[in-house]
Structure 1
Amino acid sequence: MRLTLEPLDTGRDLALLHAWVTHPRSVFWGMQDATPAQVRDDYARIAADPHHEALLGRADGEPAFLVETYDPAHSPLAGLPELRAGDVGMHVLVAPTDQPVHGFTRAVMRRVMKACFADPSVRRVVVEPDARNHRIAVLNEAVGFVVARHVELADKTAALSFCTRAAFHDSALGGAA
């Protein structure tokens, strides 16, 4: 399976994006009640922000996942003492489906982490999932993330977590694979 990333085009991808972020399985994305216009506006803001990027992921050419990368120093995490130069923040949402493919989400996570570390200036990837999201916690651990601590953000208690290049390389889903 070939997994690719491209800039999100809200004009082309809005209906798909809205269906993904408002799906009951996407509850931790925090957009359950968003209208199409709200989703469009949120992603237009991301597109205009030089510190935030949204990408559409495809599996063999078909839309299958959403990735956001961001500079944590220009995010709700700004000012946290754990942040360092060379950090990049990341969010990933695999499209909800009624026909899951075994190993697909793990393959997506590996591809996203490789994309983050493709930039030689990136030393660590930062994530801040909802602390109640146990499924993403397992996936994060499989690629080498370590929870630093829980932090209170405006919309959740987040499990602030970091993954170094070495931790990714040595992880169960490792960068060497």
Structure 2
Amino acid sequence: MRFTFRCVDPVADTPLLHSWVTQPYAAFWGMLSATETDVIDEYAKIQASGHHHALLGLDGGVPAFLMEEYLPASSPLAAAYPVLPGDAGMHLLVAPPSGDPEAGFTTAVMDAVLHRLFARPEVERVVVEPDARNTKIHALNERFGFLPAGVVGLPDKDALLSFCTRAGYLAARETLTPLKTTATTRTEDLQGAAAL
């Protein structure tokens, strides 16, 4: 697989993460005005929670995206829908391109993230709750087999709750064009691919 993953170090990784989450393309991540101290505090809290975990996705050893996985039953989603055993929540933020955007890059990132989640036998479906206004991430989610269940009110946003089963992901994956020939999906076109 092209991408590897490592745990976020809330202190060491803060300058990098801060440079991503405070850019306009990441508006739906909800940290545009965050300080570096805010970022440290947020990711220290996530990593210590026991039910929410942040990972950096590396492309050739270079950080390329941020992935968060969490247990919906331990999140605000528990009040928004009937959580089932096997549900895994996911957030995704793709880094801004450092040069010319690579065709199909965001598609490859999403595929790697879903592959990682569904590689765990206990995961039956992946749950996402992006901002209801983030139409570009909704389109990417749909390409990978996510089905919308409706808009739910969460403490920080109105979110489009969507689910992707293992079977739905595998079926959608069969229809995707290989990375080298996929139409360009630039990071800025996805508002940071923030599935938050």
TM norm structure 2: 0.86
Question: Is the CA contact 1:143–1:174 (under 8 Å) kept in the aligned structure 2?
Answer: no
Tell me the SS of whatever aligns to 2:115: helix
Partner of 1:51: 51
* Cα drift, residue 62 of structure 1: 0.6
Tell me the SS of whatever aligns to 1:12: coil
Q: Which moved more, 1:129-138 or 1:2-11?
A: 2-11
| Distance (Å, rounded) in 2 between the aligned partners of 1:127 and 1:146 | 10
| Distance (Å, rounded) in 2 between the aligned partners of 1:70 and 1:174 | 28
5+ residue gaps in structure 2? 179-196
* Cα drift, residue 79 of structure 1: 2.9
| Distance (Å, rounded) in 2 between the aligned partners of 1:42 and 1:174 | 37
* Cα drift, residue 10 of structure 1: 2.0
Cα deviations by residue, 1:8-49 (Å, 9 ceiling, x for unpaired) = 112221100001111110000000000000000000000101
| Matching residue's letter, 2:116 | A
Tell me the C-alpha RMSD between the 2 structures: 1.6
Cα deviations by residue, 1:136-169 (Å, 9 ceiling, x for unpaired) = 0111011110000100112211000000000000
* Cα drift, residue 82 of structure 1: 3.6
* Cα drift, residue 101 of structure 1: 1.1
Question: Is the CA contact 2:125–2:165 (under 8 Å) kept in the aligned structure 1?
Answer: yes
Partner of 1:161: 162
| Matching residue's letter, 1:52 | H
Partner of 1:10: 10
Sequence identity percentage:
53
Partner of 1:23: 23
Question: Is the CA contact 2:80–2:153 (under 8 Å) kept in the aligned structure 1?
Answer: no
| Distance (Å, rounded) in 2 between the aligned partners of 1:135 and 1:104 | 15
| Distance (Å, rounded) in 1 between the aligned partners of 2:136 and 2:100 | 18
Cα deviations by residue, 1:31-78 (Å, 9 ceiling, x for unpaired) = 000000000000000010100000000111111100000000000101
Question: Is the CA contact 1:124–1:164 (under 8 Å) kept in the aligned structure 2?
Answer: yes
Question: Is the CA contact 2:51–2:70 (under 8 Å) kept in the aligned structure 1?
Answer: yes
5+ residue gaps in structure 1? none
Partner of 2:79: 79
1:1-177 pair list within 5 angstroms = 2-97=2-97, 99-172=100-173
| Matching residue's letter, 1:14 | T
Question: Is the CA contact 1:106–1:173 (under 8 Å) kept in the aligned structure 2?
Answer: no
| Distance (Å, rounded) in 2 between the aligned partners of 1:173 and 1:23 | 34
Cα deviations by residue, 1:83-109 (Å, 9 ceiling, x for unpaired) = 211100000000012531110000000
How many residue pairs get aligned? The number is 176
| Distance (Å, rounded) in 2 between the aligned partners of 1:121 and 1:56 | 22
| Matching residue's letter, 1:144 | G
Question: Is the CA contact 1:130–1:156 (under 8 Å) kept in the aligned structure 2?
Answer: yes
TM norm structure 1: 0.94
| Distance (Å, rounded) in 1 between the aligned partners of 2:138 and 2:90 | 14
